[in-house]
Structure formats: C-alpha cells, structure tokens
Amino acid sequence: MSDILAVARLDVRHGLLQAVRGVSFTVAKGEIIAFVGANGAGKTTLFRTIAGAHRPASGHVLFQGRDITALPDYQRVKLGIALVPEGRRLFSQMSVRENLELAGAAGRAGRWDVDAVLKVFPNLTARINSKAGNLSGGEQQATAIGRALMTNPEVLLLDEISLGLSPAAVGRVYESLKTLMETGTTILLVEQDLNRALSVADRVICMLEGNIVAHGPVGEMKRERIMDAYFGLRRAAAEPRP
C-alpha cells in the first residue's frame, strides 16, 4: 500500500500552549488508524490541523505527496480530506437532507450521495426531513458522518464519534462504520473507548501531552502497553516514528 497522508515534525500551538509536539507519522491508503490518549493529549488539535482548521507553528502535512500545509480547510475538502468534528456541529435548523446536500455541493464528485449515505445509516431514512437539532445523539452522529461522506473523501477523520452517546447508539454507529470500512476509505479515528478502537483499527497511535508515546499494529500492541502509555506510566520516546 502507498502512503496517502504524511505528517512531518508537526508542532501546533494554542497561544503559549504547545498542543502537538514534533509529531510524525504516515498513513497508507485504505488504512484505519485509531488515535488514543487522555483528554488534552493533542488528538483533536492534530485532527483539526490535518483538516486545515488550525495552522501549525512548524512542520508539514502532505496529502498524496503534495505539501498542503498552507492550504485552507475548504481546499482540503476538495482534495479529499473530511473531518467529523467532536460535538458534530450540524446545522441544527436544517433538515438531515439539507445538511447532507450542502456538504455534497462543497465536495467532490464520487460514489457518495444521499441514497448511498442512507444505505450505510438506514436509521436516518425516516428522519431525512427532520431538523438536525431534533435528532437523538446517535442520529446526529450518523448525520455528521454522512455529511462528511457526501464530500467523497479519500481520508476521513472521525473525532470522538462515541462521545456523549448511549451504549446502544454507539453500537449502531460502529455497526454502520463496519460497512463504511469495507469501501476502502482511509480512516483516522479518535476514540476514548479502547475496546471499540481496537476492534476496528489496523494500527494504534497513543498520544500523551502532544507527543506520540506508543504505536504499532493492533495485533502487536498489548492492552497493558497501551494503557501504560495512555497514562504516562511508560514512555516510548526511543521507538521509531510511525
């Protein structure tokens, strides 16, 4: 598999706070990578930077070999990078259909349209004309993911997709994701539920205080090692870059 995305020596700041510190990794086309770590580890800031919503202090983001570090977010959408942000951020007074179609107009041509999204998230069919603000948490999350798919992305960034959802809703979202993963879309996933993350990912990257402290294929990453890195009990600074 060839690399579709590369992050090189990325530093990202919020004022005086350095949220991401010298992070480097590559992503192969079709790969699913789970990013885990405690709150404040830098995961959301990293995803927003890849998507173009936050400008890095230094370092580079490359997409399909092209340096896109200076490109704004809307141009990255047109290239094929889509972010499902933490908190979903739907247009609450617009219907599900309107949220989807608006994203489709801003994105690229491809296989994803409203009908294709409804096949992945059939629970939205009966709610297609309902205002997004009136949906359940699980339905809102499905709409947010569907909205990102409508841009026909090559790389899909999913930030905290189970946050605030009931266990039943999380189960439905992940069941739908299995169908999505079969399409070969490259997916980067932030997930607090380690079991969920390990159940779908090819590789795990663990972050702590803005650094990558552990990484590897899911089959080689023991749960104890991940938890040690998660809580900073064991540093892995000497490991090669992912």
- According to DSSP, the residues that pair with 67 across neighbouring strands are 62
Do residues 2 and 47 make contact, with C-beta atoms less than 8 angstroms apart? no
Could you tell me the domains of the chain?
A: 3-230 (3.40.50.300)
Give the C-alpha separation, 105 to 65, whole Å.
26
Provide the whole-model pTM.
0.89
- Cα dihedral sign, 62-67-70-71: negative
Are 96 and 144 spatial neighbours (Cβ–Cβ below 8 Å)?
no
d(CA 27, CA 46): 14
CB atoms within 10 A of CB 66: 10
**H helical segments located in the chain:** 43-51, 73-79, 96-106, 114-120, 137-149, 167-181, 194-200, 223-230
- Per-residue pLDDT, 105: 87
- Among the listed residues 51, 84, 40, 83, the one whose alpha carbon sits nearest the alpha carbon of residue 192: 40
Indicate the length of the chain as a whole number. 242
3-state SS, residue 124: helix
Instruction: Give me the tens of pLDDT residue by residue for the chain, a chain 242 residues long.
Output: 579 999 999 999 988 889 999 999 999 999 999 999 888 899 999 999 999 999 999 999 999 999 999 999 999 999 999 999 877 789 889 999 999 999 988 778 888 999 999 988 998 999 999 999 999 988 998 899 999 999 999 999 999 888 777 888 888 888 877 878 888 889 999 988 888 888 889 999 999 999 999 999 998 887 778 877 777 665 444 454 56
Q: How far does CA 7 lie from the centroid of its chain?
A: 14
The 8-class DSSP code of residue 238 comes to: T
